[in-house]
Amino acid sequence: MKKLGIVLAGTVLVAACGQQDGGEDAAKVEIKTDDQKASYALGYRSAEQMSAMEGLDTEAMIAGIRDGHTGTDSRLGDEDLNQLIQDFQMRLVEKRQAKQEQEAEDNLKKGEQFLAENGKRDGVTTTDSGLQYEVLKSGEEGAPSPTVEDTVTVHYEGSTTDGEVFDSSIERDQPATFGLAHIIPGWQEALPMMKVGDKWKLYLPAELGYGKQGAGGDIGPNEVLIFEVELLGIQGQGDDAADDQAAEEPAADDAE
């Protein structure tokens, strides 16, 4: 409700600042002064936010803005305007939830099919948890392996089964350092099986990644994730300083 209220308030401000009394067509409104430019910018950003509001009738909304700005009585009479807005927002939430549920169901089926086929490929190993991996490069014989209490430094690139890259330390040209206790389950299982110098390709079922909730706009609900991971080093147990780094978990910023 708060976000919708801000958008509506911003739109009213645009109407107050940007429209001329004669009802001149918006395309002919001058945008020269700082106030006019700010009004246009506010209107543009407000419209961007409103574009995601399925079912919003632009013409009806503009009529409401004009009536409210000029002090004209509401065309809805005694109906509670705030309640109407709340009801509209609830319908939006319900539609989004239904869409996410359908996306989760579709991704689950798609992921199961992908993993079933991928597991048949030569070189791909499937563990009891459903984690799949293949060895791309092996480190030196006898190189150490981390435990779940350790802090590691890796290079990685994460993508979806469609090939869309959502996170890459390689692209940033900066290895990531984090404690294994603070990362997604698939990594917690795979990294201790690797030794320094190894480079593996991991295929994570949703339950070993970000599950039904997904992460931000890049990782959908129940989405299978693919990671190329190279283990560069182990800092050892109890290295709290490294745990505080921004790259604590792949795509962690998107999950919030």
C-alpha closest to that of 143 among 234, 248, 68: 234
For 184, list phi and psi in degrees, rounded to 5: -65, 150
Average pLDDT score over residue span 219-248:
72
Provide the residue ranges of all domains of the chain, joining segments of one domain with +. Answer: 2-79, 113-255
Token digits for 147?
A: 């435990």
Q: Are 199 and 229 in contact (CB under 8 A)?
A: yes
Q: Are 130 and 115 in contact (CB under 8 A)?
A: yes
pLDDT tens profile 17-40 = 444 444 445 567 888 899 888 988
Q: How does DSSP classify residue 234?
A: E
- The angle, 0 to 180 degrees and rounded to 10, between the axes of the packed helices 34-50 and 2-18 is 140
- Spatial neighbors of 104 by CB under 8 A, at least 6 apart, are 212, 220, 221, 222
Q: 19-23, 128-132, 162-166: which has the highest mean pLDDT?
A: 128-132
Quote the CA–CA distance of 141 and 94 in Å, as a whole number.
55
Q: Are 199 and 137 in contact (CB under 8 A)?
A: yes
pLDDT confidence tier of residue 121, bands split at 50, 70 and 90: very high
For 204, list phi and psi in degrees, rounded to 5: -105, 120
pLDDT of residue 18: 42
Mapping DSSP onto H, E and C, the string for 187-230 reads HHHHHHHCCCCCEEEEEECHHHCCHHHCECCCECCCCCEEEEEE
pLDDT confidence tier of residue 230, bands split at 50, 70 and 90: very high
pLDDT of residue 76: 86
Strand pairing partners for 134? 201
Q: Are 40 and 18 in contact (CB under 8 A)?
A: yes
Quote the CA–CA distance of 147 and 5 in Å, as a whole number.
50
DSSP characters for 117-158? HHTTSTT-EE-TTS-EEEEEE---TT-----TTEEEEEEEEE
pLDDT of residue 116: 97
Strand pairing partners for 168? 157
Q: Is the pLDDT of residue 250 over 80?
A: no
Q: Does domain 113-255 fall into CATH 3.10.50.40? A: yes
**pTM of this structure:** 0.65
